[in-house]
Amino acid sequence: MTVGGVIVSDGRTSRGERADGRRGWQLTSAYTAAVAAGVLLLAVGVLAGRADLALIGVPGLLAAAWARSGRPGSVVGPGTVADADDDAAAVPRGTLREPEGSATAGELIATLHVAPGAADVVHLRIGAAGHRTTEVALHATPARDVPLRLSSVRTGPQDTFAIDLRGSLHATWEQEPVQVGGTRRLVLPAAAPLGRLPLPQRLRGLTGPHSSRRLGDGAELRDIHPFTPGDRLRRIDWRTTARRSPDLDTLYVRRTYATAEATAVLVVDSRDDVGPDLHTWRGYGTLRVDEPTSLDLARHAAASVARALVEGGDRVGLEDLARRRRPLPPASGRRHLRRIVHGLALAHPKDRASVHRVRPPQVPADAIVYLFTTVLDDEPLHLVRTWRAKGHPVVVIDTLPDVHPVTESHLRIAWRIARLERDDRLAALTGEGVPVIRWAGSARDQATIRFEALARAAERHVPGRTGTP
């Protein structure tokens, strides 16, 4: 975390109030030390008959008396000064301003607007979850904006800046620390560019970017056929008609494949949110902000797939396994893409006992399913087999992060058992013909190549269609 960046807003203001509701200042330890030293020197000088020693303590007492008389006040009206305990205007205040709307993963920015009041120095302690605390002392001006930056690869609801603000005057008076910020922001996942994606064999809809296997208006030629009732006159191929029927006894038309759009459903298994550190799997410890968890990877992968499909003109829906809310139905367009990304950012795990599904999520007919899961239990296998039995092609995206090695023997044995069980599930999926694409570590760079290979393989097995399947 650095102090220095761009200005942003949320409108949360701290007014410098104590826990008991009173506002004000208190004397510092420097004032107490000056008075004690002055009194001690003066007493020792008088008792010892040392006038020079007594005079040394007098300036400290005079300075303390002057500082005491200069109690911070605030201007209420023209020529009027109020007691600092009665008027909050003398107390330094801070307003944390954050940008409206949701943030994007990578860097969060905000600005702390400081109104110093009667203080001449403002002390800031700036912290955030997973970051080191930064302490800053600012020379007070009539008003100051302190730009803040926060780097993180995490997505979803995230804690932002928590700031303690304290003002001081002449190193004698200091304000009791007040808290500014401490809000949570929704960080949206970013989308990586992908190429072609595997699509269902049967396309639905009356129009779209792909060529279907049914007759209709399109750009891909199917055959030349004699004119029949219902054919459009503009489809007549006069050259073929003149060659095959010089007397114009039979008219020939050019028949084409109709265009259609594909339907895809993104199913995010948000029941688990595990990081690379096995110690955090037990619910203890803090997840690092520079290491994405399994749910962060799932959000990123799903946002990338959704963007590629929507930009290709297809329809995309979203289903969250951990939440029994109404799913997002398949639709297209950039506005719908924003709804999907926002829904992905809201996905979070809940109690596993309360989210057990009796039946898999409903998927529209002739839709392909993209399942984003860690495959840490048998539930994904049950879902995939049910969808495939109903004729839906399924692509599994493995979102488990690369696990760090551990030294504890019990953790090492537990992870070895869990990894072997997980490898058996992945092998079972591969053996049943379900493609599994890894989305973690260095394997993420190969995901685009895997998607392209799956799209080309689907083209070879679909008769009557060329281009994207």
396-445 pLDDT, tens digit each? 999 999 999 888 899 899 999 999 999 999 999 999 999 999 998 778 88
What is the b/e burial string over 247-256, where b = at least 16 CB atoms within 10 angstroms of the residue's CB?
Answer: eeeebbbebb
Alpha helices in 347-408, H assignment, sequence order: 379-389
Element (H, E) at 244: helix 238-244
What pLDDT, on a 0 to 100 scale, did the predictor assign at position 100?
Answer: 64
For 236, counting Cβ atoms within 10 Å of its Cβ (0-12 exposed, 13-18 middle, 19+ buried), the class is: middle
- Cα separation of 4 and 138, whole Å? 13
* Pairwise CA distance, residues 26 & 124, whole Å: 18
DSSP notation for 278-295? GGGGGT-S---TTS--HH
Describe the crossing of helices 294-311 and 334-346 by its angle, rounded to 10 degrees. Answer: 170
pLDDT tens profile 122-177: 888 888 877 788 888 877 677 778 888 888 888 888 888 888 888 777 667 777 77
Task: Calculate the CA 254 to chain-centre distance.
Answer: 51
Strand-strand pairing, 134-139 and 368-373:
unpaired
pLDDT at residue 425, rounded to an integer: 95
Structure tokens at 254: 């050019």
**Residues of 418-438 as b/e, b for ≥16 C-beta within 10 angstroms?**
eeeebeebbeebeeeebbbbb
pLDDT of residue 257: 65
DSSP structural state of residue 227: -
Contact 400, 374 (CB under 8 A): yes
The pLDDT value given to residue 85: 40
3 state DSSP class of 193: coil
- Residue ranges, the chain, pLDDT below 70: 1-25, 28-29, 63-64, 66-94, 98-102, 105, 116-118, 140, 170-171, 182, 203-223, 256-260, 351-358, 458-469
Parallel/antiparallel/unpaired status of strands 73-77 and 221-226: unpaired
CB environment 194-232: b (16+ within 10 A), e (fewer): bebbbbbbbbbbeebebbbeeeeebeeebeeeebeeebe
Residue 381: both structure tokens together: 């296998």
> Per this entry, what is the length of the chain?
469
